[in-house]
Chain A
Amino acid sequence: MAETKKLSIIAFSGDFDKLTAVFTLGTGAAAVGYEVNIFFTFWGLDAIKIKQGRSFTGGNWLTKIFGFMMGGLKVTPTSRFNFLGAGPRIFRGLMRKNNVATLEELVEAAKALGINFYACEMAMHVLGLKKEDFIPEVKDVLGVASFLKLSDGGETLFI
């Protein structure tokens, strides 16, 4: 039997459009039999927070404010054409109209396909986030060394 192919994605961006790219690639690869790992770091951590809106998650007053400003999956901004937060709503509408999966649908598909989610330990420290702040599908909290080991022998993307 052929060896399982592997795709590991470093999800750095918390932008709606870039996260859409992360999950489109991830689910596409998982559907054709790839083992897929997504390592969420820094702004990308917004995608896996339990609280998908704005909430004061964080350790101290500063990280709590950051947590509120960053928000979760439902309030991710677009990297261009954000129009003060209206952009993602416009894009979600366009996606639905054209029968393209929305970001939320892609995340659900990723869970259904058993994609491995990991959170970056260092970024969590900086932003005052705990594993309990994330959805239960997050398999583990990792550092660079563990991620490199995990992605070894496959393809790696940084988005």
Chain B
Amino acid sequence: MTFVKTKIELSKLSEGDTLEVLLSEGEPLDNVPRNAREQGYNVISVEHVEGTTHKVIIRK
């Protein structure tokens, strides 16, 4: 579902826009950047925020 939400948000953006996604470790953090790359989006950065939360920036 995390990628579903990410995908819907990405669809609202224009080419070149970026999206910040906060993800928990485990499945969401493995899944979202991988699927985004597979679908041709540019994963700019993955950075640890706090605890188990990570911030991923994706460019459309």
Complex contact B39–A33 (CB within 8 A): yes
Complex contact A24–B1 (CB within 8 A): yes
**Tally of chain B residues near chain A (CB < 8 A):** 11
Q: Mark A27-56, 1 if CB is under 8 A from B, else 0.
A: 110111100000000000000000000000
Given A32-B35, A32-B39, decide whether A101 and B8 contact each other with a Cβ distance below 8 A. Answer: no
Given A31-B35, A32-B38, A33-B39, decide whether A112 and B1 contact each other with a Cβ distance below 8 A. Answer: no
Measured in the bound complex, the distance between the Cα atoms of B30 and A41 in whole Å is 36
Min C-beta distance of B12 to chain A, whole Å: 9
Complex contact B4–A113 (CB within 8 A): yes
Inter-chain contacts of A112 with B (CB < 8 A): 8, 11
Min C-beta distance of B23 to chain A, whole Å: 12
Inter-chain contacts of A101 with B (CB < 8 A): 1, 4-5
Min C-beta distance of A116 to chain B, whole Å: 16
Measured in the bound complex, the distance between the Cα atoms of B53 and A51 in whole Å is 40
Choose among B1, B11, B38 the residue that contacts A27 (Cβ–Cβ < 8 A): B1
Inter-chain contacts of B8 with A (CB < 8 A): 31, 109, 112-113
Inter-chain contacts of A135 with B (CB < 8 A): none
**B7 CB–A CB distance under 8 Å:** yes
Closest CB pairs A-B (n = 7): A31-B7, A31-B4, A27-B4, A101-B1, A112-B8, A31-B3, A109-B4
